[in-house]
Amino acid sequence: MNLRGFDELDRLLMAMADGELSPENRDRLLGLLESDASARERYSEFVLLDCLLEWERGSVEFEASECPAVAGRIGPDVQGPPVDHRPRWRIRSRWLVVAAGLVILLGAGLLATQDRWGRVRPAAVVRREAAERFPDGPFSGGIAILTQAIGVEWEPGGPTLAVDSILEPGTLEFRSGLIRLEFFSGATVMVEGPAAIDLKAIDRALCRRGKLHALVPPEARGFRIDSPAADLVDLGTEFVLSVGPDREAEVYVVDGKVEVYGPGTNHAAETPRELTEGQSLRIGSVGEVVEKTAVPGSFPSFQEIDRRAADESRHRLDTWRDNSRRWAADPRVVVYYPFEFRGQPSGLSVLAQTGPRQGAAGAIVGCGRVRGRWPGKGALDFKRPSDRVRITVPGTYDSMTLLAWVRVDALPQRLTALMLTDGFDSGELHWQIGPEGQLALGVHSETEEPVWLTYQSPPVFLPERLGRWTLLATVYDAGRHLILHYADGREVSRHPIVESVRPRIGQAELGNWGAPRFGDRTPIRNLVGRIDEFLILEVPLGRAEIATAFQRGRPGS
């Protein structure tokens, strides 16, 4: 590469570093890196230099095993710059994401590529590792969303899915109830159990048994439902398919047109049978076709399904309110915010505390009032760095349980607040979500030097959980000398307590952090999502009680 070429490359790299790389310039950069080994070498040095600068500023902690090039430059005995003793999240430079993205794209056209430290690695390995590390990127295999589940009894041993789950290719089996699937192509499919449906792609599924009602708008024209008896291609319409245990199928077109092919045939080489509005067929297990008169009411309409969903939501809300009254009367509860705004003025900025210990009301700052887990259930919406709830919880405790129903919509910050104390006294707590979606509890300790001792779970908020209601619980159990993290009633990790302290809250905030120290590298930690129930108990709740709280409060199957 000549001098002019290096000047262009440097300009593109600087634009990439500043986040100002246009699509055209990105393509130009990828072309230079793909075609010129000296350009790839310069790119690797550019990334390494940025990593060294980040390390020198103290904003990145490296381990020699992870970062051999940096370890070689700084030497094995050189200590990094002083790092303050807050929760010690080991993070990677922003260049890890940038470099991974570039080498993934280059890997599609190269037999081998270089990682950020200049080591040559097969492109297939790079793509696989990137898919594992960045599941919410272009490698995400989601093809549909489960948007409703009404009275569903899932098959034992199979997946038990929550509403709003992102679904990848695979099989859904359930014994009874109704589910609503919204495919990424735009088609909506209701399935009534007992049923087994294989999700194939954003525009294709296989119904092995059960009743299916598909609504296919023009944008999803060509959506395909296969069955053991026939393949159906929808041309922008609405139809019903029923597959019995004997593999026979019945098809009824509510509106529009459907093409019917033989099962597993080459559609391009076959002339399909067409069904239009009001027409129906019965197809036997050996392929015989019988014209029949359809019974439109044999499958619930979308309006009937919505009515059933509303009935189930009211039932779940009533069940939750019964449980809420139990929490409100429980003497172990220190703070309880049920987020019920009925009868309160719309502009009221005080979050009412419920329970035997009054006086721990919260001051709502900026948050919007929105729907919670069900219609009629309130919640607070956190969007901006200014949104928060100020609380004061006096006293110190031997043990403690933090429990909240939270819907996390995004994780734009490295740290996301659930409840953070203002102060830094011994025993004060930071309950938050880590950079990779971990549930974490930071406990402030007083030894020779004040430190944050951080206990973090494996990642909980993976992409498929974003936008879903989740019950989070963290237990500080002094008696067993353990800290335990739970998600949706299940234990996700446990950690021995490194140093025993008496937990306390004092002045704190929900969904934000009001008192970062000067120079803190993560002062912005606001939650992007919703909270619709929050509790602090002065005892360590057991696994059974947390599982019961989940079952009584879950929004759907």
CATH number of the domain where residue 224 is located: 2.60.120.1440
Q: Which helix (H) or strand (E) holds 107?
A: helix 94-107
Please, which residues have CB within 8 angstroms of residue 11's CB and are 6 or more apart in sequence? none
In a domain, 177, yes or no: yes
Whether 153 and 27 share a structural domain: no
In a domain, 26, yes or no: yes
Secondary structure of 437-454 as H, E, C letters: CEEEEEEEEECCCEEEEE
* Separation in Å, CA 391 to CA 41, 227, 463: 53, 57, 30
In a domain, 430, yes or no: yes
Whether 198 and 121 share a structural domain: no
Report the candidate in 501, 382, 506 with the shortest Cα–Cα distance to residue 442.
501
Q: How far is it, in rounded angstroms, from Cα 392 to Cα 400? A: 16
Whether 326 and 212 share a structural domain: no
How many domains does the chain contain in total?
Answer: 3
pLDDT at residue number 4: 61
Whether 53 and 186 share a structural domain: no
**Listed residues 94, 114, 133: the one ending a domain:** 133
Whether 129 and 148 share a structural domain: no
In a domain, 138, yes or no: no
Cis amide leading into 217 (omega within 30): no
Q: How far is it, in rounded angstroms, from Cα 24 to Cα 405? A: 44
Whether 294 and 320 share a structural domain: no
Whether 495 and 465 share a structural domain: yes
In a domain, 139, yes or no: no
Q: How far is it, in rounded angstroms, from Cα 470 to Cα 409? A: 11
Whether 11 and 119 share a structural domain: yes
**Listed residues 108, 133, 158: the one ending a domain:** 133
pLDDT, tens only, 146-179: 888 888 888 887 777 878 888 888 899 999 988 8
Instruction: Identify the domain containing residue 22 by its residue range.
Output: 3-133
| Helices 302-329, 543-553: inter-axial angle, 10-degree rounding | 140
Please, which residues have CB within 8 angstroms of residue 161's CB and are 6 or more apart in sequence? 146, 149, 154, 167, 172, 557
Whether 442 and 535 share a structural domain: yes
pLDDT at residue number 21: 72
277 Cα distance to chain centroid: 40
Residues of the chain predicted below pLDDT 50: 52-131, 133-140
| Helices 123-133, 94-107: inter-axial angle, 10-degree rounding | 140
Please, which residues have CB within 8 angstroms of residue 443's CB and are 6 or more apart in sequence? 427, 428, 429, 430, 452, 453, 454, 455, 476, 483, 499, 501, 503
Whether 215 and 80 share a structural domain: no
In a domain, 27, yes or no: yes
Whether 166 and 42 share a structural domain: no
Whether 61 and 158 share a structural domain: no
In a domain, 432, yes or no: yes
pLDDT at residue number 79: 35
Cross-strand partners of 209:
196
* Separation in Å, CA 376 to CA 204, 346, 533: 36, 15, 14
Around 97, how many Cα atoms within 13 Å sit in the side-chain half-sphere?
A: 14
In a domain, 372, yes or no: yes
**Listed residues 271, 300, 329: the one ending a domain:** 300
